[in-house]
Amino acid sequence: MAVWDVPAPMLPGEVSVKIGVGCSAACNLAVGRVEVRDSRGRRVALGKLGNLPFQGTSALYWTEARFRAPRSEGYHEWTARFRHAKSEPLHRDASYKFGSMKTKPGLHELMVEVLDGVTRAPISGAYVRLGPITAFSGEGGVARVNSSGDRSVFVVWARSHKMVRTTIKVTRDKSVKVELTPSPCKYCPDST
């Protein structure tokens, strides 16, 4: 069982997460159902696994679960559960705990353009974090994060590049360019 695309942090309003279930024998689990329960055991979402496995997998059947973010700020946990159908006694029930921090919306937007420090080419998929808010840069190398206006740790990192880490205070909407220095990745399978 897997849960992904959990917003970090969660903002007020509706939340969407993806939940997947797979069988070691690659059984078709498309008829299965999953539910999400909060820390008090209340069901907050119910979903039916889709007819097709998740792209790039052979047998991870998945669904998108939607529920309301908690009202209070702070860390919250949920449990995703898969219950096997009575007609399928070979499958066991499964569960997966996940959590996220709930915060209030930021006051200011920081637009971050991530570039390779040598070629000046945009870097897509770069990790950007401002305090508890995280984002990934898109095709043009741009990520957007919100700030509460407080002094926050600012981190930008991309595969095969050195991380940039500093502390900043964002008091108005603004844009910044971050140039990352290339660095060989000794753990990456495709690096030289």
pLDDT of residue 167: 94
pLDDT above 90 covers a percentage of the chain that reads 60
pLDDT of residue 186: 66
Q: CA dihedral defined by 82, 87, 89, 92, rounded to 10 degrees?
A: 0
- CATH architecture for segment(s) 108-180: Sandwich (2.60)
Contacts 24+ apart (CB under 8 A), 54-61: 54/20, 57/20, 57/22, 58/26, 59/22, 59/23, 59/26, 59/27, 59/28, 59/29, 60/2, 60/20, 60/21, 60/22, 61/20, 61/21, 61/22, 61/28, 61/29, 61/30, 61/32
Inform me whether the pLDDT recorded for 60 exceeds 90: yes
pLDDT of residue 88: 60
pLDDT of residue 86: 60
Kindly state the tokens that stand for 35: 């539910």
Inform me whether the pLDDT recorded for 97 exceeds 90: yes
Domain residue spans in the chain? 2-102, 108-180
User: Which CATH code for domain 2-102?
Assistant: 2.60.40.150
When the pLDDT of each residue in the chain is averaged and rounded to a whole number, the result is 88
d(CA 7, CA 98): 11
Would strands 14-22 and 60-68 be described as parallel, antiparallel, or unpaired? antiparallel
pTM given for the model: 0.64
Mean pLDDT, residues 122-144: 92
Inform me whether the pLDDT recorded for 87 exceeds 80: no
Sheet holding 14-22, edge to edge: 2-4, 14-22, 60-68
Mean pLDDT, residues 130-148: 89
pLDDT of residue 190: 56
pLDDT band at 61 (very low <50, low <70, confident <90, very high): very high
Contact 47, 64 (CB under 8 A): yes
Same fold, 2-102 and 108-180: yes
